[in-house]
Chain A
C-alpha cells in the first residue's frame, strides 16, 4: 500500500488480503533501429523524405493560389483553387506530422521512465504556514473583528453588479403586444409569396396550395422580415364537404378556401408541407402535424395548439381578403399569450 492510500479513508473500497504483487515495469524491448545502424539509417531517410514531401505540398498550395484566379461566373476556378490549395496544405502538414511521429517512434528512445507523483495536498508545514499568513492578514485588516465593515462590504459587493445587468436593458424593446398582432387587417388582400401578386378566389382550384403574404409586405421599407415571420399564411382549397367546420367559424372560409398561419405553434418553423389526400399539414422541423379539415388541430408531434386560422372572404373584385387580423397570437406559445 502506498503512502497516499494510507493517508486517506478508502471509503467502501474492500481491502484484498495478500494481493498479488506488482511485478514492476516490463523490460524494454529493443527495436530494430536500436540495434542495427542500417535500420536507423533507413528510418532517417524515411523521415527526411517525409519532410521533403511536406515542402512539395506547400509548393502545390502556393501554385494552386496563383494558377486558378477567380473568374466571374466560372465556378470551376473556385473549385480548383480550393481543391489544390487544400490538398497542398494537407500534404505539407501530413509530411511534417508523419515525419515527426516516425522520428519519435523509430529513433528517439522508447525506454519507459517512472517518475514519482506528489499529492496535490501541501505538506503539513506549508499548510500551517499558509494558515499563519491568512490569520496575519485577517488580524492586520481586522476583517473578522470589524463586523460593520465586513457586512457593508458584502452589501456593496452584492449591489455593484446590478447596474452591470440593468445596462443591457436596451438590448431590445419592451415586448408590448407586438407578438399578438400581425400585418393582416380587415380588407388586406392575400398575395402570393414571394411575388406579392394578389390572389383571386377563382384562381384557387380544389386541392391547390398557395404560400401567402399580405399585400403590401414587399413594399415595406423596414421590418419586412419581422412582419413576414408573423404574417405568412398557407392557403388551401378543399372540397367544402371535407371541411369539418365549427359553426362559429363557418364564415371564416370561402367556398372551401381556408387560410391558416404558416408559423408552427411549436417553435416557429414554417409549416410548409401539405398532404393533399389526408388534408394534413406537416412541419418539416419537428414533424408536428395539423389536420386542415379540423381547424388545424394537432394530430401528431410536439406542437400543442392548432394553427391559428385567418378569417377570409372576397372583395368586390373577387380577390381574397382578410376579414381581420388573426384572433389569437401566431407562432410559438409564450407564457402570457392568453392575457
Chain B
C-alpha cells in the first residue's frame, strides 16, 4: 500500500501536510472552514472596529520607533521654521520630528489618529446595533459586558494617546483631568500627586501615559478582543428575523471561501479608506498649538470626539452646589458630572441583566429583534442616545453660540434643559413610533399592500385593490415575540415584596402597550372574508396560499 503522505503533493499540499503533521491544523480547517456566518451590513460595524484596531497597532508600532516619551526640555531644531529655537519637551519635539523630518511620519501619525477616531466610533455604533436588535440577550450577556469594557478601553487608549505629543491642547486636557481628580473627596489630591509624580504637570506623566498607551491598555484590548471573538465562535453569530431563520439554526454563507474573501477584503477597504482620509485631511495639527504652557489657552478647542460627552458633562454641571461638610469641600462642579457619567456607563453595562430581570425569559435568543418589535427597549435606547448626544453637543456650546450668533449662556442653559427633557421626549416619541410601525406591519399582513388601483364593484362601491404580501416577506412581519406585564404576586410566605412590586411596575412600563404578532387564525379570517373581492393575485409567483402548505 502506498503511503499517501509520501506522494508528491505540490507546494500547497506539501505545506498543508507539513503543518497538519506538526500542529493538527486539519481538524481546525475542518471545524471552522465551513462555519456559517449570516450576512447583514450592520454586522460589519464590529469588523470596522476590529480592523481599525489592527491599523492602530501597525501604525502605532511605526510611531514608537521615533517618538520619545520624555518631558525634559530642549530647544527645537527641526524643519518646522515657526517653532525653531522654542523651548519644549522632548516628547513634543519628537512628535514634530515625526511630522516634519521623517518621511512617512506625518501620514502614519494621521493614519493612527484617524483610525483611533474610527475605532471608538465603530465600536460605539456596533454597541448600538447590538442594543437595538437585542443581541445582548441570553446567551450573550457576558459578551455584552466584554464589549462594553472594550468600548471603555477604547476611550482610555484614545485619551492616553492624545496626551502624548505634549502640545498645548492635550496639556490643557490633562489639566482638566487633574482638576477632576483633585475634586474627588479624600483621595483626590493624593491620586493626582501619584498620577503626575508630584504637582501638575510635573515631568513624569507623559512617560507614564506612554506605558499605559502602548502596553497596558492595548494588552487589555487584545485580551478582551480575544475573549469577545471566542464567545462569537461559541455562540455562533445572531441573524436577523427572516424565512428559515430560527433560534436553533444559523443561516448564511460559509467562512471559506466567502467570508475569507469578504471579511479579508473588508480589512483592506477599511485600511484604504483610513489611508485616503489621512492623506487628504489634517487631524490634530500639533504644530499649530505650540508646546504645553499652563498659562495660554485657545478658545473653541475641543477634545477628540469620544471624550466630548465627558467634557460636555463638565460644562453642563450645576453652579454653586458645592457642599461643605465639617470643613471638607465636595466640589459638585466636578462630582456631579463624574457620578452622572459613571452611573450612565454602569446602566449601559447592566442593561441586559435589567431587562432579563423584568422578562425572566430564560431561553436562548439567536434571532434578532427588529427595533420596532421591542418598543420599550428601543425607546430606552433612544433616550440613552439622546442623553449622550446632548452631553456631546454640550462640549460645543461655545462653537454653537459663535457660529449661530447666540448667547453662550442661553445655549448652555438650553442644553441643561435638553439634558433632562430630551431623553423623556425621545423615549415617548420612539415608543409611539415603534408601536405605530408595528401596527403598520399588522395592517400589511392582514390587508396586504395598497396598490393604488381603484376599482368599481358591480354594486357601485369603489375600493382600492390590496396585494397580499408574499410569504417570505410576511414571515419577517410576524416573527417576533411579545411579552405581557406581570402583576405583583405574593411569595411563598404570602407577602408581596418590594422587588416584586418594582418588577411588576417596570414590566407594565415595558409591556403594557404592545402589539401582538398576527396569528394564523387572524390571517385566515382577514383573507377569507372579504379577500376575494378586494385582493388581486400577487404578481410574483410566490403566493401566500402556500402558507397553509
Contact = CB atoms under 8 A, between A and B. Distances in A.
Interface of A: 2-5, 7-14, 16-26, 65, 68-75, 78, 81-87, 89-101, 103-105, 108-110, 112-117, 119-120, 168, 171-175, 178-179, 193-194, 211, 213, 223, 225-226, 228-230, 232, 262-264, 266-270, 272-273, 284-289, 298, 300-305, 331-339
B62 interface: no
Given A91-B272, A287-B397, A13 B482 contact: yes
B320 A17 contact: no
Interface in B406-423: 408-409, 412
A266 B298 contact: no
Please indicate which of the listed interface residues A171, A288, A303 has the most CB atoms of chain B within 10 Å of its own CB: A171
A86 B276 contact: yes
Nearest to A331: B179
B81 A73 contact: yes
B interface, how many residues as a size bin? 35 or more
Given A269-B175, A285-B176, A100 B244 contact: no
Contacts, number: 423
A332 B192 CA distance: 12
Nearest to B401: A287
Interface of B: 34-36, 79-81, 99-104, 106-107, 110-111, 139, 172, 175-176, 178-180, 182-186, 188-190, 192-202, 204, 234-236, 242-244, 246-254, 257-259, 261-262, 264-273, 275-276, 278-280, 292-301, 311, 314-322, 324, 327-334, 337, 358-364, 366, 397-398, 408-409, 412, 471-472, 474-475, 478-479, 481-486, 507, 511, 516-521, 523, 546-547, 549
Contact of B360 (A12, A105, A168): A12
Given A22-B243, A117-B236, A269-B297, 4 more contacts: A23-B546, A100-B261, A172-B190, A226-B201
B519 A213 contact: no
Given A81-B104, A302-B315, A332-B179, A12 B246 contact: no
Contacts of A193: 295
Given A8-B364, A335-B185, A72 B79 contact: yes
Contact of B247 (A4, A73, A115, A305): A4
23 contacts: A3-B248, A5-B247, A11-B360, A11-B361, A14-B484, A18-B519, A25-B244, A94-B269, A94-B276, A101-B262, A101-B265, A113-B251, A120-B235, A225-B293, A266-B317, A266-B334, A267-B180, A267-B183, A286-B317, A287-B408, A300-B412, A303-B319, A334-B189
Given A5-B247, A120-B235, A173-B193, A18 B521 contact: yes
A228 B295 contact: yes
Contact of A284 (B102, B199, B316, B398): B398
A116 B249 contact: yes
B299 A284 contact: yes
Contact of B178 (A10, A17, A114, A268): A268
